[in-house]
Amino acid sequence: MELDKKSVAEIRAILRATKGRELKVLAQALINDRRVGARRLAESAQTRLDWGRREDGRLRRLMKYESDLARQGYSLIAGADEVGRGALAGPLVAAAVILRSDAHIIGINDSKKLTASQREQLVDEIKAVAVAWTIAETSQEEIDSLGLQSANMTALSRAVESLDPAPDFIICDGFKLKCEILPSMALIKGDSLSQTVAAASILAKVYRDNLMRAHHDVHPDYGFNDNKGYATASHIEAIKKTGPCALHRRSFYPVSEIYKDQLTFDDAFLKAEYTVIQDHGKSKV
């Protein structure tokens, strides 16, 4: 390709559509171009290449546990994570996902390290390379009735057990599932160490954030669109001023102070319905 006969604008378009080894060749060819604009494009292309190498390395590290398990013969490895443990209002949401063995999701990370727009974009990419994914809730009533830890494990179990096809191994962020049939491991900070767990953390976070924004339309006094049910100063002030709504967890302080004489929960809470959302990727590992 005779780059010296092309305009800087044409070269820019070519570089945008090029990647990998071809991009490296073009960048090297432009380094000594007499045009300042062309040399700057070469520098920009080199920056892309350097970032790509770093990202490839990061993603290989994120696949370490999955790769080790694959070498042991596991092919349907599920990652599971939850969100909403510390919120004063709304459900606890868990997600489980099985990714294709060749999944390579650029930019994936612990959901807490990503912006809202990055998470939203990654949701579609995750679902596109998922063999299966599920999202499950435990309601605020169940959290009050079962206790936080039991409700947490219930949500995770619901998500994992709803996967179709069923996984043959589970990597769970922080907690080891009580599953007698499937082998599993608890991975502390798993959403920063495993691509599959990170995918689950993103699905759960985006789903719950969108859910709490929808609840804001029904209960606008508490700022759920902003705080997502967590204990911000303005949220606590709204509870003190307006009183709690149906979404608030009665066993969580400061809501518990209002209901301190009513903290005996009947069977209605244990029978509260929950939600499981399920879909399947088109490709199998």
Rounded-to-integer distance, Cα 201 and Cα 81, Å: 5
Task: State the pLDDT at residue 7.
Answer: 87
Q: How confident is the model at residue 254 (pLDDT cuts 50, 70, 90)?
A: confident
Sequence-separated (6 or more) residues with CB below 8 Å from residue 13? none
pLDDT at residue 222, rounded to an integer: 95
What is d(CA 84, CA 140) in angstroms, rounded to the nearest whole number?
A: 10
**Per-residue pLDDT tens over the stretch 186-214:** 999 888 899 999 999 999 999 999 999 99
Element (H, E) at 28: helix 20-30
Q: Are 45 and 30 contacting, i.e. CB atoms less than 8 angstroms apart?
A: yes
Q: Is the pLDDT of residue 20 over 80?
A: no
173 in Cβ contact with 187 (< 8 Å): yes
Top-ranked range on mean pLDDT: pick from 11-20, 97-106, 205-214: 205-214
pLDDT at residue 279 tops 70: no
User: In this model, does residue 69 exceed pLDDT 60?
Assistant: yes
pLDDT band at 179 (very low <50, low <70, confident <90, very high): low
Residue in the structure block whose two tokens are 């994120």: 62
Positive or negative torsion for Cα 138, 139, 144, 148: positive
For residue 178, which amino acid is it?
A: K
Q: How far apart are CA 228 and CA 190, in angstroms?
A: 23
Structural domains present in the chain: 3-61 (no CATH), 66-280 (3.30.420.10)
168-177 pLDDT, tens digit each:
999 998 877 7
